[in-house]
Structure 1
């Protein structure tokens, strides 16, 4: 394994600039994450991309925003601009649970420390930089800027917020995956253009007076409801989201404008998706794949999860209502070439602590590699946010052959014992039967190979719920498809003499979900012999369909009213059903089932189990003694441990001991 020197990393201090012999820097990136020089960490990607284009780049990771701001001053002023990369996860999702409680650790900070980043670092860092260097351009990027580029609901302040630029003194937002736009911006600034005059750059957002909008407002533009109108009328906010989501997922999008405070937020259309060659170039940059030496002896939890994983594609056409990929990466799949993937796998093999097991060979979804529309002209006109909901598009090529070739080529490399699939598998793609028999055959072949060769004892899939009505609002397939996939999974395990677990992920309190739906989920998962260990309580994150539904009370596409559990009591009443098997939850569940008029489900959950001491038996019996037990919904389940790992729920077969889960998550958000 190569011994890396400080000069193999992008510089982070004055001393490291001197080691390179630099007396100036073109771009300084301020990151709210620790600096890990790896293609799954956004600041590293943007820094390496700028470096490859000939620019001098430095990174200041997790600057101290208190006191004299010395971290913001230590490298001086850049020649071109400051870039702010607030982190791979939204800062508030990273910091707080759905119950607005502090998470157990910050996954992107050394040793999981909580005090290394502020809330909304995009705003905090921009204000400090503009105070210190008012004439230097400040550009916002990353997931936090992408999700806040237009009026959006902010769950943590429980308010409708304006575009992020209205709170930050920054000059511009670059949204989405940032390689192309950042390079073009740097080149134009280097050519002498003022950032105030760069108004036609794709994938950027800026504030402007109406008379200064380049080209004026035309019939080609989509003028959204103003922020002020959205504050008065939640239906207007829902209608806005539909337009934003559609344009985020179109090959040829329109410019969006929104009035706010007497000005306009101007959102230029995004660049087309990267080509395979462009994506290869991004992944083939000279990353060390290591945390910066300053973290020696310290653990960065997110890095530990992905250090032995390889991302093979970008984008996801699932369009799940609660997912932010639509707003950041989009639905069109860009695949890396097999050669580029194999090069990175060989790098992993050379790592000194690699034992031969890749933790993940996947992407935002495990099995979308190589998939796209057959008729490209149809794709260029398509407005659907999902290619597989409400049914799989007949134009979509669902052939798994290319992915099978990747798996087999990786497994053939000396030094690889196993390549596991840690990303979520879309079983609806595996079950789909198209008119192309070759694709159908490849799907069956892939399913068997996945189960027999690429599962480390536990295969995670994401049905998310059991109610087809709720699943439709989630943009997920019917639960009947989970039954079908589980039958296949169990059959192949029997045939191959394997004892593997299938791990279904579920969400409580999603828009449209009622207590009765969760009660029925408990019965169904009991009958499937699952005990749910960790769960996700729906967390509204900016600029997702589910969040807009949750906030406005309307489905943005139909404008029909949708119920959402919002209060802590309502949310706990739903979440408790995940833990029906815990003795301490039984009393509250029985009370809830009687209250909602479903006492019939008590027997289905607790038939054959002894009554709990100190209160009424599950099936009839005398009156409950006074003062016994705890009030319904009083406190959270003891096993509920909301940290960044359980963005989804996990389950285990109750007859077996839980295995140590080894999975690497491909970071979706640069």
Structure 2
């Protein structure tokens, strides 16, 4: 069946259904595109013969919407949507955002804060005995006790606050099928304690198989930062299907149990997921959903990331093992895309978390998984790292040779260190020649080695070599293409001296970032654990953390020191750091002395 799934009771009845098997509740508007997790899960269930209705952005102020389809035969599936609802609602300064790209016409206010908890509680209020299964990014990254930036405290597992029966974490195609088939076979949700990629609540540990790891209790991690750091360090080392153990977190009177992560998808399974009959757009009940623009004419070619940046949640959600779609699968999707009347000949992106990763980082990962205590690219490339761009380049060539395709761009993250480690320049040259849309976005994130080490990013010297090579290749090919570096302020490890070092670098390259990203402590990242505890959970060393609004504002202002609005903050930062040498009139100065600075005249 190729229509949208039922969104009203009338549409459900029109299909001849008296009762759905599942009702999927999402904090996003209904977009039936494989870049949306809700679409993947619901289409996967549909492909297995289950009847699924879609409840998008229900009104949480009453129970009416939650009773729209009646009680489903097997259960409610609940997700906040493609991103965490708190990140969706609030900036890093905790100010309410005015827009929501995942809602009709970009309007804010269509979902509650902590959507998974609110929706689950409403379902429980409407149907006390309903089976409630929670998943998606919000549930996944809050599966055990976690520091919550917005409350500035450690919160319990979201499974507890949501009063749900089971939590699915990570990418859930395999989990949802196993759960659905078990429920369909008459097994109660309370007995689904054996599935990879799930978290559940239990009172009797004797029911668990041997070999689990006991974490510190919620009471301990919420009252002691050292204990929190130790607990997170254990979790960090158990995010891989092949070597992770079952983790048990005690609470007063019960335990939260996390089974090991789900296995990576095979290429056939990955291809099958993207071959499902998506409508590839938003439901016709809406005028417009802005989020479709970024993905409508883009292709997802991989999943997972062994780059393992410490501020990124991918390590906890998708894992470090690369999974890829076949060329045939991607070409078929591209051909479907070409038939779209609005397609103008440009494939906007072919990638994923990191576009130029098309295979596991080394031969051992397929059997033994990623190393629990080592990273593939930091502090330098592992000696076992497999560096090869040939498959990705072959894919790009096939796509750009399709009838109807003018250009194929790469806009998702290019891991420039992996690119530089490739002794064969063929891909780099092809990238510059054929696959950049005027500017290439890369993510050095900072320039101070002290900060880069806490980010898990390559050192400054390698980035500067990359910049030189990029500029050389552009000049050689007669191209006028720019580099746009993503940079971050106030990451753990960054003090005022580090921020000033970054400002001096921006001065030297004559670059003023249009936008500045202040570090955002979101659940499930190593950097967030550092931010909260001031400790690096990997080795329990102390980490400097800028926490006061004033210091964070100074670090952010230094990145845009040329902006007259930032003068007083930059001046204060330089005086505090005793860097008066950067206040003056020569080329190395960032700002002029007080009294010598004139703000620009207002235009009449």
- 1:504 maps to which residue? 485
User: Within the alignment, does 1:476 sit opposite 2:467 as a pair?
Assistant: no
What pairs with 1:110-129 in structure 2 (closer than 5 Å)?
A: 110-129=104-123
- 1:21 maps to which residue? 16
What pairs with 1:221-300 in structure 2 (closer than 5 Å)?
A: 221-295=212-286, 297-298=287-288, 300=289
- 1:660 maps to which residue? none
- 1:485 maps to which residue? 466
Residues 390, 490 of structure 1: alpha-carbon distance in 2 compared, 3 angstrom cutoff: same
Per-residue CA deviation, residues 576-605 of structure 1 (Å, 9 max, x unaligned), is 011111123224312321221111233488
2:549 alignment partner, one of 557, 568, 571: 568
What pairs with 1:153-552 in structure 2 (closer than 5 Å)?
A: 153-211=147-205, 213-215=207-209, 218=210, 220-295=211-286, 297-298=287-288, 300-376=289-365, 379-380=368-369, 382-384=371-373, 386-432=375-421, 440-441=423-424, 444-552=425-533
- 2:64 maps to which residue? 70
Secondary structure (helix, strand or coil) at the match of 1:98 reads coil
Residues 265, 605 of structure 1: alpha-carbon distance in 2 compared, 3 angstrom cutoff: farther
| Structure 2 unaligned regions, length at least 5 | 600-604
Residues 494, 381 of structure 1: alpha-carbon distance in 2 compared, 3 angstrom cutoff: closer
Secondary structure (helix, strand or coil) at the match of 1:396 reads coil
- 1:649 maps to which residue? none
CA contact (8 A) 1:84 1:125 kept: yes
Question: TM-score if structure 1 supplies the norm length?
Answer: 0.87
Secondary structure (helix, strand or coil) at the match of 2:480 reads coil
CA contact (8 A) 2:338 2:405 kept: yes
Residues 78, 229 of structure 1: alpha-carbon distance in 2 compared, 3 angstrom cutoff: same
CA contact (8 A) 1:250 1:382 kept: no
Query: 1:47 Cα shift?
Result: 0.1
1:616 alignment partner, one of 591, 595, 600: 595
Secondary structure (helix, strand or coil) at the match of 1:139 reads strand
Superposed structure 1 runs of 4+ greater than 6 Å apart: none
CA contact (8 A) 2:361 2:376 kept: no
CA contact (8 A) 2:582 2:589 kept: no
Deviates more, 1:594-603 or 1:498-507: 594-603
Query: 1:261 Cα shift?
Result: 2.0
Residues 379, 395 of structure 1: alpha-carbon distance in 2 compared, 3 angstrom cutoff: farther
Secondary structure (helix, strand or coil) at the match of 2:535 reads coil
- 2:94 maps to which residue? 100
CA distance in 2, matches of 1:604, 1:174: 59
Deviates more, 1:249-258 or 1:180-189: 249-258
Secondary structure (helix, strand or coil) at the match of 2:54 reads strand
CA distance in 1, matches of 2:513, 2:384: 37
CA distance in 2, matches of 1:573, 1:71: 46
Query: 1:248 Cα shift?
Result: 0.8
Deviates more, 1:480-489 or 1:14-23: 14-23
Query: 1:366 Cα shift?
Result: 1.3
Q: Which structure has more RCO (C-alpha within 8 Å, separation ≥ 6)?
A: 1
CA contact (8 A) 1:94 1:103 kept: yes
User: Within the alignment, does 1:12 sit opposite 2:1 as a pair?
Assistant: no
CA distance in 2, matches of 1:260, 1:478: 42
CA contact (8 A) 1:519 1:601 kept: no
Secondary structure (helix, strand or coil) at the match of 2:411 reads coil
CA distance in 2, matches of 1:25, 1:604: 72
CA distance in 2, matches of 1:487, 1:147: 38
Secondary structure (helix, strand or coil) at the match of 2:24 reads strand
- 1:656 maps to which residue? none
Secondary structure (helix, strand or coil) at the match of 2:271 reads helix
Question: TM-score if structure 2 supplies the norm length?
Answer: 0.96
CA contact (8 A) 1:493 1:500 kept: yes
- 2:79 maps to which residue? 85
CA distance in 2, matches of 1:592, 1:380: 45
Query: 1:384 Cα shift?
Result: 3.6
Length, aligned pairs only: 599
Alignment root-mean-square deviation, CA: 1.8
CA contact (8 A) 2:245 2:259 kept: yes
CA distance in 1, matches of 2:223, 2:207: 26
CA distance in 2, matches of 1:199, 1:147: 19
CA contact (8 A) 2:147 2:529 kept: yes
- 2:25 maps to which residue? 30
| Structure 1 unaligned regions, length at least 5 | 434-439, 619-627, 630-670
CA distance in 2, matches of 1:607, 1:268: 55
